[in-house]
Chain A
Amino acid sequence: MVERRPWLDILAHIILLCGVALVAFPLYVTFVASTQTAQEVAAAPMSLLPGPHFVENYMRALTNAGVGSMLYVSLIMALAISLGKIAISLLSAFAVVYFRFPGRMFFFWMIFVTLMLPVEVRIAPTYKVVADLGLLNSYAGLTLPLIASATATFLFRQFFLTVPDDLVEAARIDGASPLRFFRDVLLPLSRTSIAALFVIQFIYGWNQYLWPLLITTQEDMYPVVIGIKRMISGGDSVTEWNITMATALLAMIPPVLVVILMQKWFVKGLVDTEK
């Protein structure tokens, strides 16, 4: 925008405010609902002012409803998926870029093709495999099938390709073994990409719904996303919306924290690479 007209500025701000309201209002309602009693939430229209039951509701959610343990399951799952993905993708990208072995391109394309096969598509056979391996209701079952990642492998491959060949050769002359080169040179250079990927994959892992729904049958292995769904009971019993809303807000905190804490690196990793 080259022109500077006051009314354009005002219009732009109004549009932006509308956008913010659109995104923030449901969050606000969630928060308000989580501070009222179940009856107050159920009343129509519901009051839009926060009620006095904040501490009470959250304590109940964390203790009685078992949200604490669900958050823990979710955290383990998200961390295992994101860290596992990063570790495996880094190594496979390293192999594909820096080693000449028979079938190198074939394997790369095999990895690439799996981009077309997200979890949802291969969910039935994957379930069969996991069930046969006796991994139902376990962390391994929750995380392993989600760890292999073509996206991350591809991203790291593209990054490694931009690392000058000179560096590899200098390291060879310096006497660095391949893994030493990987550890001392490649990893530090990939720091920002790793951070960006961690953020994306953490949220991906945290938000998994379908897969945990299939393979967990015991309450103590439910991640929080499933927990929220289970609180919204259909049929006869009454849904305690205040507790559900409190759980929803609690479930939002870890991903938000990850984004906020890693924001600087995240942006850097997506925008530029340090070379």
Chain B
Amino acid sequence: MATLSFRNVKKTYAGNVAVIHGIDADVKDGEFIVIVGPSGCGKSTLMRMVAGLETVTSGEILIDNKVVNQLEPAERDIAMVFQNYALYPHMSVFDNMAYGLKIRKFPKDDIRKRVDAAAKILELEKLLDRRPRQLSGGQRQRVAMGRAIVREPKVFLFDEPLSNLDAKLRVAMRLEIMKLHRRLGTTSLYVTHDQVEAMTLAHRMIVMNQGVPEQIGTPMEVFEKPASTFVAGFIGSPPMNLITVATTAEGSVQTQDGITLQIPADQIPDAVRGRPVILGIRPEHIHLNSQGIPAEVEMIETLGSEQLLHARCGQSPIVVRCPTSLLAATPFKPGDSIQLGSDGRHALHWFDVQTGRRI
């Protein structure tokens, strides 16, 4: 059990290539933190710095209020689950899980007890004598987690642990990780590029972009109040519609093609009046409304319980999420004209045109 803190952590590679531009964050004891971002945003580097596999260029990383910058990975009391599992191919499942304990000179019966307990939690009891080669992807993943569990470390690090599994197994393993965390309550740091994993697993998430944490918050905070256009576009599927508009002081909103959006003046905060801004609306907050603005259907994606209507309002593409039942009565074809309206004040997000930050 431990806390984990970042104090202005930066990482620069040789040749002055900065990959992480300064992160401050505090992870509470027992918290499950997910670092999410597109590839190359520095999320894995950040995790590897916590693990001690990369050096910290400047700033401090603290585990349990102790600076660990100079400590070897083994001395940090962390355990890591790798994307490719990194199981020792020539060792049995038992030996893979026991190796860290053997090196730390745990007594034999204690090792046995711990491995058996972990195997029971992960349902690996029958596989303890097998080699990694003889296991399926999901089983290997569980062994990799078992190796982390037996150590009872202060912090768990997960480096995209599910990305090598097929879609169905990924969902199952996600639930297992959740259950595991509820059971063990160990402080965890989890890196992924998959926003669904991030949303479902995280107590709080860190959305990273180009080495900068764009937003740190609970999944619902991030989803409902994205701090920037990047977060708005990254979290949520399909992503939030972002339209560049100009507002007048009186509260009329026009797109760049001169289409006036009929938004009641009381839904437009004063801060965004009289200047160009980016308006964000999630696809689920747009509905068909015969009084609304005109748009043209370009394409329809059927997902089963719902359909995604790709429409175009002037030059701006707009995605609308509709329940299938609604469209069953009046099926649309590409080229049809529709009218769209939004859900009201809470559905509208305003962002600065230059910085992309939320207003």
Please name the residue on chain B nearest to A163 by beta carbon: B89
B28 CB, min distance to chain A CBs, angstroms: 23
A249 CB, min distance to chain B CBs, angstroms: 40
Answer yes or no: B246 CB below 8 A from chain A CBs. no
Told that A169-B51, A176-B99 touch, could you supply 9 new A-B pairs with CB distance under 8 A? A166-B83, A169-B82, A171-B88, A173-B51, A185-B90, A188-B90, A189-B89, A274-B90, A275-B89
B63 CB, min distance to chain A CBs, angstroms: 14
Interface centre among A164, A166, A167, A188 (most CB of B within 10 A): A166
Answer yes or no: A184 CB below 8 A from chain B CBs. yes
Answer yes or no: A175 CB below 8 A from chain B CBs. yes
Answer yes or no: A120 CB below 8 A from chain B CBs. no
- A169 in complex: contacting residue of B86, B89, B147, CB < 8 Å: B86
Q: Mark A179-202, 1 if CB is under 8 A from B, else 0.
A: 010001100110100000000000
Answer yes or no: B104 CB below 8 A from chain A CBs. yes
Please name the residue on chain A nearest to B98 by beta carbon: A174
Answer yes or no: B100 CB below 8 A from chain A CBs. yes
- Chain B interfacial residues counted at CB < 8 A: 23
Answer yes or no: A172 CB below 8 A from chain B CBs. yes
B87 proximity list for chain A (CB < 8 A): 170
The answer on a CB contact under 8 Å between A172 and B86 is no
- B74 in complex: contacting residue of A166, A174, A189, A275, CB < 8 Å: A174
Interface residues of B (CB under 8 A from A): 51-53, 72-74, 78-80, 82-90, 99-100, 103-104, 147
A172 proximity list for chain B (CB < 8 A): 52-53, 72-74
- Contact sample, A vs B, 9 pairs, CB 8 Å cutoff: A164-B84, A166-B82, A166-B83, A169-B73, A170-B80, A172-B53, A174-B100, A174-B103, A185-B88
B72 proximity list for chain A (CB < 8 A): 172
A55 CB, min distance to chain B CBs, angstroms: 47
A185 proximity list for chain B (CB < 8 A): 88, 90
The answer on a CB contact under 8 Å between B89 and A173 is no
A274–B87 alpha-carbon span in the complex (Å):
13
The answer on a CB contact under 8 Å between A173 and B74 is yes
The answer on a CB contact under 8 Å between A166 and B103 is no
A172–B82 alpha-carbon span in the complex (Å):
13
Chain A: number of interface residues, binned into ranges: 10 to 19
The answer on a CB contact under 8 Å between A169 and B74 is no
Which 10 pairs show the lowest CB-CB distances between chains A and B? A175-B74, A166-B86, A174-B100, A170-B86, A188-B90, A175-B103, A173-B73, A172-B73, A166-B82, A173-B80
B131 CB, min distance to chain A CBs, angstroms: 10
Given contacts A169-B53, A170-B82, contact A175 B100 (CB under 8 A): yes
The answer on a CB contact under 8 Å between A184 and B99 is yes
Which residues in chain A, 198-240, are within 8 Å of chain B measured between CB atoms?
Answer: none
A101 CB, min distance to chain B CBs, angstroms: 17
A173–B86 alpha-carbon span in the complex (Å):
11
B51 proximity list for chain A (CB < 8 A): 169, 173
A275 proximity list for chain B (CB < 8 A): 89
A169 proximity list for chain B (CB < 8 A): 51, 53, 73, 80, 82, 86
A195–B80 alpha-carbon span in the complex (Å):
34
The answer on a CB contact under 8 Å between A176 and B80 is no
A173–B156 alpha-carbon span in the complex (Å):
12
A180 CB, min distance to chain B CBs, angstroms: 7
B89 proximity list for chain A (CB < 8 A): 189, 274-275
A189–B89 alpha-carbon span in the complex (Å):
8
B82 proximity list for chain A (CB < 8 A): 166, 169-170
The answer on a CB contact under 8 Å between A173 and B79 is yes
